[in-house]
Chain A
């Protein structure tokens, strides 16, 4: 029942099986810490769905609110205390594509895993318990409002996307969370927290068979009707192309995004990810001409980063940093994109970019948490972390160049700027 997959070059392997509809992955690692995560294929981007003949529209922040409330026990206590007594750290997070419930421990793994299953499979919501959570989540939302990077990020998505729910903060707003009721949480749980719609990934020094047995004990087959996700049709074009606001920051922060075509699931998705990572390194990486030109002229400093992301069917490239003249940086980015259309990159640059991406992919195996999270990043999209480095190493220059030419379009780009308050007043 347990199937073994291996990558001998990386000295990594994992076991996979399906237990009553639930995909279970175990990645053996000789470390003291065991990390386990149950990912539910339900995130903040799932805002409308049809089930049992009716259509439900969720207020922004529902998946996240549900995540908070899953920790309540029927007797009024919460799961944090139980995990604490076992010396484990338990946590959860809600992203646009998924909600993950996780723990790490160095002892009592089996009890912890059973508890984690309890957390995701035993909902108990009351008016009072849902009400009690509102001021806590409100402070969480308010905390993020003060985070300029958070604001910059979501403003960028808002400038790029017309209707895709990825534009909205997973936690919602004070207004939207006011609409959340126990019934709504039950509806979401029944529709999405089914074995077929979840995956368990455990990484550490554990016996795969034990994990599978515990899963079989805790997970029962579900006969709930599969919900139909109603995702709005997002145009390929960008929405506004620019967002700006001002906050109490030292010097302006910027994020430039390029909207890409979301790849199909499976191998195509891994190829797209590998090729885009290579492009981003070659064009915007720290040994590239763009960054160094900006650094030498004082437009950019050390606070600079770039990457590709594909989550919940929204794929984009992001370049961000701080600069006294973000608009000039944006102009230079666009010039760089135009220039590279005619001379993409040298073969040395290409090979070097591959090494950078390979090394960064390898880093994901340095800890049980990193490994499990990287692994879960692919599972609902039919990818496989163990094969990802093969796509990087095997990337073909012509194919990468063709992707660059087709996808990295100036007219699909946008900038989000957070000015400092003083600048704007002055």
Chain B
């Protein structure tokens, strides 16, 4: 894949990743801010307000009509978190011009709308209209609260919250309902002004358009001013001395167990590949967790590890019957212990590597995965392609994996206890 980097202005970068195998183009504009309780909710609400209307299209309907005319170009604004950084993202996805049947220039039209969304919001008396702000506050509140609709995800969030309560990492990127309720249109406009002018900007494009033309579009439609291009750190902490055991109750039928570990390593470490493979030995489709916890012991339908390589956290999640908590914890710990002892069979090692290598090769088949890869690494000052990472993986040994595993320490075991019987 051809990669071309441009510095549009200081602190404003564009990366064009050329690919001609997709039917659509993808552009993501990322603004990076430190994740903080005081600003996260404001930024989150801003993405709702900005994607609803703009000066030229003052209602959602007008905005949507304009987008649908461009073959349903997908224009969106949202927040996400990576380590202790909040990313404020503006996304445009639209079909390639060559596939339109009326000769429309969808990319130019989409880029123009992307610019309108970011730079020309609908304002009244210099601030966001009160009715828009209030209605988006209601929508965002519902969105934040709706997380409990998904019990597995909710349990994961609660586990992290308990684990990292005093770290910025525990701040929810979607926002906090209490902070949200107090936001005024004036305050939101101030946040907007800061957001547009201050944080470093990274623009990514995947598609077959000429890189220089993409740059020209960015210069024309995305007039970000120069700013500092600094990077933000994420703290990788060790575990506390005692494992926290937390149980909360719910009326769910199934109990959700989340076992949180600190890995002592992150994506920035040279031997990160060893940690990554440790997780694959546990979680690959025929990994230790599947074979032992599901197939041998029949304790669950799903039991998988989730590694946050930026923060250095490993969470093993499983959906179980409440009375099996002890057995499940014991079985999962046993698997991790085996890793530490170096009890890794040849086929386990081979499968784990094959899974990792396969995942790297798959990246180039998905525009969002391509952008995700580079965005994560460049945000940390790392310059590594999936190919380079694959070569490191190939060289990693079972001893490397065991060494990395020995630094994995339990921190917080959380269970959202079920007990409901409704059906």
Interface residues of A (CB under 8 A from B): 9-10, 29-33, 78, 80-81, 83-90, 104-107, 132, 135-137, 139-140, 142-143, 145-149, 173, 245, 247-251, 253, 285-287, 289, 292, 295-296, 298, 301-303, 322, 352, 355-356, 358-360, 362-363, 365-368, 393, 421
Contact = CB atoms under 8 A, between A and B. Distances in A.
25 contacts: A29-B21, A80-B286, A80-B290, A84-B284, A84-B286, A84-B355, A85-B351, A86-B354, A89-B285, A107-B361, A135-B299, A139-B320, A145-B254, A146-B252, A146-B254, A250-B147, A301-B139, A301-B142, A301-B143, A303-B142, A352-B69, A359-B72, A360-B72, A365-B23, A393-B101
Contacts of B147: 250
A136 B64 contact: no
B24 interface: yes
Contact of A359 (B21, B95, B151, B298): B95
Contacts of B285: 80, 83-84, 89-90
Interface in B37-67: 48, 59-61, 64-65, 67
Contacts, number: 186
Nearest to A292: B61
B138 A301 contact: yes
A292 B59 contact: yes
Contacts of B418: 142, 146
B195 interface: no
Contacts of B24: 362-363, 366
Given A105-B358, A137-B301, A31 B64 contact: no
Contacts of A393: 101
Contacts of A90: 285
Among A29, A249, A366, A421, the one with the most B-chain Cβ atoms within 10 Å of its Cβ is A366
Nearest to A149: B149
A89 B356 CA distance: 11
Interface of B: 21-24, 48, 59-61, 64-65, 67-69, 71-72, 95, 99, 101, 135, 138-139, 142-143, 145-152, 250-254, 284-287, 290-291, 294-295, 298-302, 319-321, 347, 350-351, 353-355, 357-358, 361-362, 364-367, 418, 422-423
Contacts of B286: 78, 80-81, 83-85
Nearest to A83: B285
Contacts of B362: 32-33, 104, 106
Given A352-B65, A352-B68, A136 B301 contact: yes
A355 B72 contact: yes
Contacts of B22: 366
B145 A251 contact: yes
A145 B254 CA distance: 8
A186 B22 CA distance: 43
Nearest to A357: B72
Given A146-B151, A301-B138, A355-B71, A368 B354 contact: no
Among B253, B300, B365, the one with the most A-chain Cβ atoms within 10 Å of its Cβ is B365
Contacts of A137: 301
A212 to B, nearest CB: 24
A245 B149 CA distance: 14
Given A78-B295, A148-B149, A298 B365 contact: no
A83 B149 CA distance: 34
Contact of A250 (B72, B149, B366): B149
Contact of B68 (A139, A285, A365, A421): A285
Contacts of B291: 81
Nearest to A205: B21
A367 B370 CA distance: 13
B294 to A, nearest CB: 6
B99 A10 contact: yes
B61 A287 contact: yes
B60 A295 contact: yes
Nearest to B150: A147
Contacts of B422: 145, 245, 247
Given A136-B294, A358-B71, A367 B145 contact: no
A352 B301 CA distance: 44
The 10 A-B residue pairs whose C-beta atoms are closest, nearest first, are A87-B354, A250-B145, A106-B361, A84-B351, A84-B286, A140-B301, A81-B286, A287-B64, A292-B61, A139-B301
A33 B390 CA distance: 16
B342 to A, nearest CB: 20
A332 B24 CA distance: 35
B72 A356 contact: yes
A143 B152 CA distance: 9
A303 B143 contact: yes
Given A132-B298, A359-B95, 20 more contacts: A78-B286, A84-B285, A85-B286, A89-B355, A105-B358, A107-B357, A136-B295, A142-B254, A143-B319, A145-B253, A147-B150, A287-B68, A298-B138, A301-B143, A302-B139, A302-B143, A352-B68, A359-B72, A360-B72, A365-B23
Nearest to A134: B298
B327 to A, nearest CB: 12
B295 A355 contact: no
A85 B350 contact: yes
Contact of A88 (B21, B358, B423): B358
A368 to B, nearest CB: 7
Contacts of B347: 81, 85
A367 B299 CA distance: 35
A69 to B, nearest CB: 12
A23 to B, nearest CB: 26
Contacts of B152: 143
B362 to A, nearest CB: 5
A140 to B, nearest CB: 4
Given A84-B355, A359-B95, A393-B101, A31 B21 contact: yes
A104 B61 CA distance: 40
A208 B5 CA distance: 38
Given A81-B286, A249-B148, A322-B146, A139 B72 contact: no
B165 to A, nearest CB: 23
B365 to A, nearest CB: 5
Contact of A89 (B146, B254, B358, B364): B358
Contacts of A136: 294-295, 298, 300-301
B252 A248 contact: yes
B355 A135 contact: no
Nearest to A29: B21
A87 B357 contact: yes
B154 to A, nearest CB: 9
Given A132-B298, A359-B72, A367-B366, A292 B99 contact: no
A362 B95 contact: yes
Contacts of B354: 84-88
Nearest to A79: B286
Contacts of A80: 285-286, 290
Contacts of A248: 148, 250-252
B302 A143 contact: yes
Nearest to A421: B251
A139 B321 contact: yes
